[in-house]
Every structure is written in structure tokens, then in C-alpha cells.
Homo-oligomer: A and B are copies of this chain.
């Protein structure tokens, strides 16, 4: 079942190994030689050489000066991700700002545009028109740098259906908004739309020293979560996972706008945190304990509005985790503030595009050659 339901031919072998080599270079701290990649992957030096040639021809890798020498022998040629390779366009529509950025293959933010403006009173088409303007500026800046964009991704604070339709974005006042069509038309790029917390979690995954399995919690007006399992975003059966804001904390507690009582959002939303940080921490601790009991996650990252309040919340959350997580004494749960700030979702969106290229370089090489 786990095995993909499709046949494998020789070309799939090459596709897989291209990805393997690219990822190995990407995850290396230094600039590995072909021989080092060969040792790390288990592929022959000859094979690695052939694969690297393809990747260099497709501007996914570049050769650099060798890493500092060690002993005898012919000096190595250092490999690294190409800064002039395919880049990603990250977009975000949020309650009080719009943003766009260009991130290159190495993960460096090359351009960044932000417009602060309350989107709650605007119709969706106005917000979209403005984000399209930002996207156009970003595209110009990218082409001025000689960068080719591989695609665009848009982060939205709401429930997004698999096709990219925004079903509900309560804090924007959106309902069943199709953002994919206008953005594709305007940018000429393949466009995906995703939940803000999901993309922020992906952004966090790429930050330095990030663990492969963690829960990212974003505390804004609403509360969202991105579940990352083994380096992979878990989207749920229908793409609507991570709605931690409506996990019940106090069954007969405060009424929530969703119709239920005692949702986390009522005790740990932005207003609630400002009003009573201790109450917020306790409520968060109860909800997060449920997550850890269910999913056995060892790391929880607090982002969005929680990041600046992290030190004030930490103690209260950890107390509840110690009390309520069954395996707390077998395996500790660590809590940390998000490494990326407010840009997390936008960065994550751009990273998602880059990720696509990194995970399927063969596909990119094919499309790049076709043009």
C-alpha cells in the first residue's frame, strides 16, 4: 500500500537518484565533492559524476572552489546549489498585510515586498488585485536578477480545498474564493494555495537546526497548526488538518464563533493572550498535551503572535505537558519559539515551490529543456 501505485522504469531510477544527489548536496553543511556525495549516497563515483553533469547543465548545481584541503590527492571540485537556478515566488494574504517574496534555490530571500493594509473590509477581488501587483513587482525584480521562477504559492489564513479553492477564511471574510485562476493568469506560473500555518510550518522546517518531526502552532486572531511528520507536511484526509484552534479545552466554557463551547481559540487567541497570559498558557498546555498523546511529537514550535510572548507562556505550557502527557517521563517534549518571524508563511510558500524542484529535479529538467 505504501508503495506508490505506479510502475517503475529505468527513467524513474534516474529521477530518484537525481533527487538523491541534489538533496545530499543541499543538506551538506560544506561544499561536498562528487566523491563525498558518492560516499554519502552509496552510488558509484561514476554514477554521481553523470548525475551531477545533468544537474549542472540544468543550473541546479554549480561547481565552486574546493573546500579547504585536507591531505594528499587531487583537489576536489566543490558542489553547491546554484544561486541562479530556479526560484520560488512566495505570496501571502493576511488580515492586516499582503506580502510577496522571491527565494532562490539556495533558500536565500532575494526580494521582499510588503503592503500593510487591513483586508477585513475589502472584497476578495481587491485583495487579490493588490497581491497580483506585488507579485508583478517581484517577478520584475527576479528577471532583473536573471532568475527563472519555477512557480508561485499563496498563503491564506483559512481552510483550503485540495484544488486550491479557499473554502472559508473567517478572519478575511472569504468564502469559496478561487485565487488560483486569477493568479495563474496574471503571473503565468503554476500556482498553489495553502493554509498559512501549513506553509509557515514548512518555512520553519527549512530553518537552521530544525527537527524533521514537529508541531508548528501559529497564534494570530485564530490559531492554526501545521503538522510536520518526518520532513513531510501532514495535510489530513481532506486537506484540513491542524485546526487546533477549535480543539475543546473546557467543554462547557466560553462560547466560540464556531458554535461550540470552550474552544482553545477563546482562551489562547490574540486577545486572550493579551488579557491573561497564564490562562492562555494553561489552555495551550491542555490542547498541546492532547496533540502529543495522540501523535507522539517531541517538538512543539510556537510561532506567529506566540513567538514574542514565548518566555511568558513557556512555564505554564510545560507544566501542563508534564502533568498530562502520558509518556512525559519516557521521552521529553521540547518547546521552542519559531526561528522565522512574521515572514514564516510567505517564506514557507516560496520554499514550497523550491521544495518541488528539489524533490523532483528530473521533472524540472524536463520542463526547462522543453522551453
Contact = CB atoms under 8 A, between A and B. Distances in A.
Interface of A: 1-3, 5-10, 12-13, 16-17, 19-20, 23, 41-43, 159, 167-168, 212-213, 225, 227, 229-232, 234-251, 258-260, 263, 282, 286-287, 289-291, 293-298, 323-327, 330-331, 359
A95 B298 CA distance: 30
A297 B294 CA distance: 13
A231 B20 contact: no
Nearest to A6: B42
Copies of this chain assembled into the complex: 2
B251 A359 contact: no
A19 B294 CA distance: 31
B323 A260 contact: yes
Contact of A10 (B6, B13, B212, B359): B13
A241 B20 contact: no
Interface centre among A23, A236, A250 (most CB of B within 10 A): A236
Contacts of A245: 326
A4 to B, nearest CB: 8
A10 B10 contact: yes
B298 A238 contact: yes
Nearest to A325: B246
A239 B17 CA distance: 30
